[in-house]
Amino acid sequence: MAAQPKEYFDIETAAKKDSYLIDTETLAPEVLASKFKKFSGVEKVFYLTMVVAALVLAVGLLYVKTKTLEVQGNTMDLRTKISQETTRKSEYDQQILDLTSGNRVLDAANKASLKANPSNVLKATK
């Protein structure tokens, strides 16, 4: 004797025969509702807790992902500002070197008719 294929019912037939072998093409909210009513209190609490936990995890993951993207954006802004300040500092350093170079100081002194007297220059010693 050959094995008989499983029999699939539509929603109305399944509800009448108390069967849950329903065609995958149909939706069965009333069948799921009647199945849920047959659960014990502990089973209902367990499944509802699992659903709530899944929702909390999903919301938590979205929150963490959003905060991660926000921190990455802030980091990029700070890196840009640091780069700009570093460039500005190097420009100021170059200007200071240009202004304090020995030739420039001597030229300014000569224009003001000042004479260089190397004998009164103090050398720093340790």
Domain ranges, residue 53: 41-123
pLDDT confidence bin for 92, thresholds 50/70/90? very high
State the average pLDDT over residues 8-14.
Answer: 56
**Per-residue tokens: 117:** 């007297």
Query: Is residue 29 a part of any domain in this protein?
Result: no
Burial of 14 (0-12, 13-18, 19+ CB in 10 A): buried
Query: Is residue 103 a part of any domain in this protein?
Result: yes
Identity of the residue numbered 112? A
pLDDT in tens, 31-56: 667 777 777 888 888 889 999 999 99
Q: What is the DSSP code string of 54-115?
A: HHHHHHHHHHHHHHHHHHHHHHHHHHHHHHHHHHHHHHHHHHHHHHT-HHHHHHHHHHTT--
Average pLDDT of the chain to the nearest whole number: 79
More confident residue, 23 or 37: 37
Query: Is residue 7 a part of any domain in this protein?
Result: no
Query: Is residue 89 a part of any domain in this protein?
Result: yes
Quick count: other Cβ atoms within 10 Å of Cβ 8?
A: 14
Statement: residue 123 has pLDDT above 60: yes
Query: Is residue 68 a part of any domain in this protein?
Result: yes
Q: Structural domain tally of the chain?
A: 1
